[in-house]
């Protein structure tokens, strides 16, 4: 048994980011063709495209503002011209900002999280779900966070945006499930990325002691969960919020 994404086309938003690039590589290694979305880091997108080509998969780079429907529709058109219809959408991009207390956080930061978490999810569904409905197959995988279950100080804007995203995804799962389209979320913990390896910041004893597995997860472990949900191995899983956090957060029944 293996994850087989041959003849599938995947879009990863924020694909040039720390987690996004590993997701793109992993889906390509499973056989998918990949649309590499970026906002401003074109050089990283080109490097990633070349790497995916080396795996034998097709890839194209697409620039878009994921908080703008017209920009997403333009991106969709380019992907279809280069790779065909998108079968798998991974909503990974999010606006970065400086975390602080609710009393100090600017209203604009809450708006940016709403736009990049909630509205991105809505726009991606509007753009890509219709073709999935026609072919009776599709995957939406949203990248959420363990923070939505922690609610720690300074997390409010991020948690608000990601909780809103959770609501959209759960409703979407019920609305389009009859067409054999699954809609799920992967919720990483504090994950080791390429930046950590370069900076030698892989370990945090205070954080690791809160995790049942006593370590931080890796970017590859997040990408593995995404690849699983994108595949037919997960064909009867939908509406799920799946922490990949070593047990640091545990949804209850």
Along the 253 residues of the chain, how does pLDDT read in single tens digits?
899 999 999 999 999 999 999 999 999 999 999 999 999 999 999 999 999 999 999 999 999 999 999 999 999 999 999 999 999 999 999 999 999 999 999 999 999 999 999 999 999 999 999 999 999 999 999 999 999 999 999 999 999 999 999 999 999 999 999 999 999 999 999 999 999 999 999 999 999 999 999 999 999 999 999 999 999 999 999 999 999 999 999 999 8
Under CATH, which architecture does the 9-244 domain have? 3-Layer(aba) Sandwich (3.40)
Give me the pLDDT at residue 218, please.
98
DSSP class of residue 187 equals: E
pLDDT for the residue 90:
98
Name residue, tokens 């809450």: 110
Rounded to a whole number of angstroms, the CA Rg of the chain reads: 17
Both tokens of residue 158?
A: 């991020």
Q: What is the pLDDT of residue 253?
A: 85
Helix (H) or strand (E) holding 197: helix 194-199
Between CA 117 and CA 189 the distance in angstroms is 17
CB 183 within 8 A of CB 132: no
Buried b (16+ CB within 10 A) or exposed e, 230-241: bbeebeeebebb
Catalytic residues: 158
What does the pLDDT read at residue 31?
Answer: 98
CB-CB contact of 250 with 243 (8 Å): yes
pTM score, whole prediction:
0.96
Domain boundaries, the chain: 9-244
């Amino acid at each position: 048994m293996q994850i087989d994404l041959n003849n599938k086309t995947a879009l990863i938003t924020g694909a040039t980011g720390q987690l996004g690039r590993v997701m793109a590589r992993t889906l390509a290694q499973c056989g998918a063709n990949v649309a590499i979305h970026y906002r401003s880091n074109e050089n990283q997108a080109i490097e990633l495209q070349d790497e995916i080509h080396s795996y034998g998969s097709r890839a194209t780079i697409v620039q878009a503002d994921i908080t703008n429907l017209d920009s997403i529709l333009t991106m969709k058109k380019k992907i279809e011209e280069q790779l065909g219809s998108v079968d798998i959408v991974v909503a990974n991009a999010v606006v970065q900002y400086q975390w602080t207390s609710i009393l100090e956080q600017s209203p604009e930061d809450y708006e940016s999280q709403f736009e990049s978490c909630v509205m991105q999810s809505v726009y991606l569904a509007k753009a890509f779900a219709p073709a999935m409905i026609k072919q009776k197959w599709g995957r939406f995988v949203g990248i959420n966070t363990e923070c939505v279950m922690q609610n720690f100080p300074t997390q409010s804007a991020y948690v608000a945006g990601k909780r809103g995203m959770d609501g959209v995804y759960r409703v979407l799962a019920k609305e389009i499930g009859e067409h054999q389209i699954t809609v799920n979320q992967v919720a990483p913990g504090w994950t080791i990325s390429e930046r950590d390896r370069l900076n030698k910041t892989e370990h945090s004893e205070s954080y690791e002691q809160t995790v049942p597995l006593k370590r931080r997860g890796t970017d590859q472990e997040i990408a593995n969960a995404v690849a699983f949900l994108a595949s037919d191995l997960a064909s009867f899983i939908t509406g799920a919020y799946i922490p990949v956090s070593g047990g640091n957060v545990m949804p209850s029944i």
